[in-house]
Amino acid sequence: MIYLISVLEGLLVIVPALLSVAFVTIAERKTMASMQRRLGPNVVGYYGLLQAFADALKLLLKEYVAPTQANIILFFLGPIITLIFSLLGYLTVPFGSGLFISDYSLGLLYMLAVSSLATYGILLAGWSANSKYAFLGSLRSTAQLISYELILSSVILLVLLLTGSLNVITIVESQRAVNFLFPLFPLFLVFFIGSIAETNRAPFDLAEAESELVSGFMTEHSASIFVFFFLAEYASIVLICVLNSILFLGGYLSIIPLDLILNVLNLFFDVNNTILYDIFVHISSSPLNLALKTAFLIFVFIWVRASFPRIRFDQLMSVCWTVLLPIVIAYVVLMPCIVYGLGIIPINISLL
Amino acid sequence: MTTTTFFLFLIPVLAIILLAVNLILSPHNPYQEKDSAFECGFHSFLGQNRTQFSISFFIFALLFLLFDLEILLVYPYVVSAYTNGIYGLVIMLVFFLVLTLGFAFELGKNALKIESRQGYNFNYKSWSGYSLIYN
């Protein structure tokens, strides 16, 4: 029985994660289409909603091409590694209060580690294909991923300074007073730019700059291993948007200041024992909050893609190393001093 | 078996299932032209890959290694800042001062730039005074 529950819990996370990946692809195509005054996919299913499943089925039934010059084992292993490590990050995400697979005390460190291991998949895939486009694409992609990961981990360091814990749930719960978006707004911007670059999205999608590198590191990949890259890319977009909302927008905490509304209402009526109070309590930490925040951030990802032209690779790297990194390092020096000076260093006493 | 362990097993299994579905269900009739490396418009030939590449990529990887290690060394300080007090803060700041000096040295050495033959550069020198970064 206990095994059955474990199996169900695992599936309850991974199946909606994959479904959300499918719907993010269709949402992206639809949003891009309406931003460019096109219709977008509208044939398969109602309003084109089943397009992603049709694409996935088509790709799964396509012929796989294993180039003769490639190292076959690494060629297949690369995409698998990328997919596995981009999906493993969902392990420590708290979807609502009490809704998580693992309440791991080093949750954020785990997420960082897993997301950086996904780089190996790209490196392996590009190198093993033994094609110049794949090789150049994987070099670029790896350099970009590791550079921007540095920024992400430094910003996470500063968030940790205000929470004092690597546990993801503690980070969410310590934003009950105020979302970290407000005290750390410049860092949120840096983190968001970093996450767009980390997921290889336009305007930072230099790894698969179609005009010069065909399709970057996945030039030689076809059929299901291409699906793996595709799934991994969108799964990591969803995951990094979830991470953005957890770190800065308060995760599953309510968007509306329900406590304030409740207090104001209490001045006039006695709502504490009514059904309204129960509804408020349910809303205040429901998974829907996290979903709304994440969906909005994903929309911004697509919006950015539709709005900005692609920048050049050397510009991309100099933005990272000579603009974003000095800003973040200055913050790393400044913030501990402010936190110490104000005497607001957090302390988390374990309740066990 | 806890849920966590199951989750860690489930995802590789999922990937292998998807791969197996593809390998079993799809047609497979390779020929030489299809299996050769991709090239646009003419025959591809080997020997133009896995050769030399720009040193900048290696330098970035090297710098990433140092910086990430240094950031990760500060993580333990951050989660125990309350216990460490002023002593820990001072040590952390000295550590970061050394790191920043090294970073300024790298910037001054132009280690963080990729040579570009195109006209407009992001670091275009618009200021003629003395600068540690743009020279």
pLDDT tens for each residue of A144-186: 888 898 999 999 999 998 888 888 988 888 888 888 888 899 9
Structure tokens at B16: 């292998």
Considering the domain architecture, whether residues A52 and A183 belong to the same structural domain is answered as no
CA A289 to chain centroid: 16
Closest CA to A104 of A94, A113, A96, A114: A94
Q: What is the reported pTM?
A: 0.88
HSE (side-chain half, CA atoms, 13 Å) at A220: 36
Range of the domain at B64: 51-111
**Would you say residue B61 lies in a domain?**
yes
Higher-pLDDT residue of B135, B65: B65
Q: Give the contacts of A186 (CB within 8 A, at least 6 positions apart).
A: A327, A331
Whether the CB-CB separation of A232 and A190 falls below 8 Å is answered with: no
Give percent helix, percent strand, percent coil of chain A, each to the nearest 5.
70, 0, 30
* Res. B133: pLDDT tops 60: no
Answer whether residue B127 shows pLDDT above 60. Answer: no
Identify which of A222, A236, A25 has the alpha carbon closest to the alpha carbon of residue A125: A222
Residues A6 and A116 in one domain: no
Domain membership flag for residue B67? yes
Question: Is it the case that residue A49 has pLDDT exceeding 80?
Answer: yes
CB contact under 8 A, A68 and B75: no
How many angstroms separate the CA atoms of A58 and A165, rounded?
45
pLDDT at B134: 47
* Domain identity same for A215 and A137: yes
The verdict on residue B9 lying in a domain is no
Percent above pLDDT 70 for chain A: 98
Q: Residues near A32 by Cβ (< 8 Å), separated by ≥ 6?
A: A40, A302, A305, A306
A24 and A89 both lie in a single domain: no
Beta bridge partners of A96: A99
State whether A34 and A74 are in the same domain.
no
Confidence at A304, pLDDT banded by 50, 70, 90: very high
Same domain, A41 and A151: no
User: Which residues 3-32 of A are in CB contact (within 8 Å) with B?
Assistant: 3, 5-7, 9-11, 13-14
Task: Say if residue A167 is in the same domain as residue A263.
Answer: yes
Cβ-based neighbour number of residue B108 at 10 Å: 14
- In whole angstroms, what is the distance from residue A233 CA to residue A215 CA? 14
Q: Of the ranges A45-54, A338-347, B107-116, which one carries the lowest mean pLDDT score?
A: B107-116
B126 vs B59, residue with greater confidence = B59
Of B4, B29, B92, the CB nearest to A91: B4
**Region of A99 on the Ramachandran plot (φ > 0 left; ψ -120 to 50 alpha; else beta):** beta
Q: Give residue A25's domain range.
A: 1-60
Tell me, yes or no, whether A105 and A221 share the same domain: yes
Give the pLDDT mean for A203-216: 74
Same domain, yes or no, for A2 and A143?
Answer: no
| One domain, residues A123 and A7 | no
Rounded Cα distance between A32 and A9, Å, is: 34
CA-based torsion, A177, A182, A183, A187: positive or negative = positive
What's the domain count of chain A?
2
Any chain A CB within 8 A of the CB of B11?
yes
The neighbouring-strand residues paired with A99 are A96
- Determine the pLDDT at residue B121: 52
* CB-CB under 8 Å, B3 with A101: yes
Interchain CB contact of A53 with B (< 8 Å): no
* Average pLDDT of the residues in A12-37: 90
| Statement to judge: residues A14 and A141 lie in one domain | no
Res. A138 pLDDT band, cuts 50 70 90: confident
Residue B134 falls within a domain, yes or no? no
Q: From B118, which residue of chain A is nearest by alpha-carbon distance? A: A312
In this predicted structure, the answer to whether residue A139 has a pLDDT above a threshold of 70 is yes
Tell me the mean pLDDT in the region A38-63: 84
| Same domain for A55 and A77 | no
Inspect the interface and report whether the beta carbons of A166 and B86 lie closer than 8 Å: no
Per-residue confidence at B126, pLDDT binned at 50, 70, 90? low
Among A16, A45, A60, the domain boundary falls at A60
